[in-house]
Amino acid sequence: MINVIGLGYIGLPTALMMASHGVEVVGTDYNRKLIDTLNAGRTTFSEEGIDELFQAAVKSGIRFTTQYQQTDMYIVSVPTPYDKFSKKVDACYVVAAGKDIMKVCPKGATIVIESTISPGTIDKYIRPEIEALGFKTGDDINLVHAPERIIPGNMVYELLHNNRTIGADSRDIGEKVKSYYASFCLGEIVVTDIRTAEMTKVVENTFRAVNIAFANELARICRHDDMDVYEIIKICNMHPRVNILQPGPGVGGHCISVDPWFLVGDYPQLAKVIDESMKTNDSQPAFVLNRIYEIMQKEGITDNRKVGLYGLTYKENVDDYRESPTLQMLEAQERHLARPLKVYDPFVSTDIVANQYHDFDEFLEGIDLVVLMVKHDHIKQNWNKLKGKVILDCFNICPLEGTYHI
């Protein structure tokens, strides 16, 4: 039996996938409301295919509880924030989960850390805490790192098809853990050492962050001299060895906007390009906010109550708004004591910010300028409702004439 600790955006799909493929699974989370929701037969977030996967897992006997289980295999999938001052990973939730596991686990159990952590986290924080409790890692307890690579909006498919990395102290333990993931994973599963596994996940997200920063910086350069960044990128990408990404309003989510900071925090004198790239991405919402101000001046819009932000989530067609560019922009507004702009997102049904609307038509009433912060399919199906509005399109997707771009 596997006890999955943490039933959020990563832990829950992992638990459901394993259970639906014949593995005995108990999911544990400290959040009683979340557990009650799952036990009532409902999932806790929107995701294509998650409801069908949930039903298959329930049929296979998955259980949900707030209690840690006594078993020989644990998968830990809890948040790993970073300290915004030091930029280092904050492993407190992973360490706390490890300590709670030690209270119930038998000798020889394996703890698999799925949470994204910086290189050396297991050796610096987790291993010492476990050994301080009188357990010897590699003998009494086995430690493994198996980072996930899935993205909201395509979780179920990517859980099945993405390649995986498993880092372990010993090859035998790594192969044992691999066999559990191989119960459902159709991609290649590579077994390596723990530090290599820790580094690869962070490097993957850092690579993407740096490339996004290049596109965002290019957009600023082109805006400065009134050049068409999209046309330039289109032509450059005709080169067989060039693949420039598209600029956007910023970077959100709990991976690309967070993980690269781990390297900056751990290697401040070495990660110079990464540091500057993250600063570029983090300041992109402020760049968009300034672009809104420029358009308001040009269009004669003097009241920011006439401006609305479309989209709260960090990417299209999901309900995950963690670290989203829209939230970052609203925080910047708040620091300047400005009245919050109107906001609407078809995927966010609960109130998370001031001046948030839940009806699209009501949101559009009285608005002169609409800012497209997220490219949900919903907006692509409602271009006709934006006719007559001033539009700032952060993605170059709007077909209406006169649309402004970043």
- pLDDT score recorded for residue 153: 87
What was the pLDDT predicted at 285? 96
Predicted pLDDT at 357: 97
Q: How confident is the model at residue 85 (pLDDT cuts 50, 70, 90)?
A: confident
- Report how far residue 162's alpha carbon sits from residue 144's, in angstroms, rounded to the nearest whole number: 19
Prediction pTM value: 0.92
Alpha-carbon span 113 to 357, nearest angstrom: 39
R_g (Cα) of the chain, nearest Å: 23
For residues 335 and 303, which has the higher predicted lDDT (pLDDT)?
A: 303
Over residues 16-38, the mean pLDDT reads 97
Summarize the confidence of residues 144-167 as an average pLDDT: 94
Range of lowest pLDDT (115-119, 307-311, 337-341): 337-341
Confidence of residue 254 (pLDDT cuts 50, 70, 90): confident
Mean pLDDT of 345-371: 96
**Beta carbons within 8 Å of 217's beta carbon, 6+ residues apart:** 280
- Residue 149 has what pLDDT? 87
Residue range 24-33: mean pLDDT, rounded = 97
pLDDT > 90? residue 87: no
Reported confidence tier of residue 132, pLDDT bands at 50, 70, 90: very high
Q: What is the 3-state secondary structure (H, E, C) of 132-148?
A: HCCCCECCCEEEEECCC
pLDDT, position 86:
81
The pLDDT of residue 340 is above 90: no
pLDDT tops 90 at residue 155: yes
What is the reported pLDDT for 106? 94
pLDDT tens-digit readout, 174-216: 999 999 999 999 999 999 999 999 999 999 999 999 999 999 9
* Three-state DSSP state, 128: helix
Distances from the Cα of 308 to the Cαs of 163, 245, 396, in angstroms?
40, 26, 18
Minimum mean pLDDT among 83-87, 372-376, 383-387: which range?
Answer: 83-87
Is residue 336 scored above 80 in pLDDT?
no
247 pLDDT exceeds 80? yes
Residue that wins the pLDDT comparison between 66 and 150: 66
Provide the total of helices (H) and of strands (E) in the chain, helices listed first: 15, 14
Catalytic residue list: 201, 255
Alpha helices (runs of H) in 162-318, residue ranges in sequence order: 171-181, 194-224, 229-236, 259-266, 272-299
Which ranges constitute the DSSP H helices of 182-228?
Answer: 194-224
Predicted local confidence at residue 82, as pLDDT: 80
How confident is residue 335, by pLDDT bands cut at 50, 70 and 90? confident
Band the pLDDT of 151: cuts 50, 70, 90. confident
Query: What CATH homologous superfamily does 2-192 map to?
Result: NAD(P)-binding Rossmann-like Domain (3.40.50.720)
pLDDT of residue 81: 85
Specify the CATH superfamily of domain 205-405.
NAD(P)-binding Rossmann-like Domain (3.40.50.720)
Task: Provide CATH 3.40.50.720 ranges for the chain.
Answer: 2-192, 205-405
pLDDT surpassing 80 at residue 257: yes
- Structure-token pair, residue 95: 């360490």
Q: Quote the CA–CA distance of 362 and 184 in Å, as a whole number.
A: 45
According to the model, what pLDDT value does residue 7 have?
97
Average pLDDT on 130-139 reads 91
Asked whether 25 and 62 are in contact (CB, 8 A), the reply is yes
The percentage of residues in the chain with a pLDDT greater than 90, rounded to a whole number, is: 91
Dihedral of the alpha carbons of 33, 38, 40, 42, in degrees to the nearest 10: 110
| pLDDT at res. 83 | 82
Compute the C-alpha angle 236/241/242, nearest 5°. Answer: 35
pLDDT (0 to 100) of residue 152: 85
pLDDT value at position 190? 98
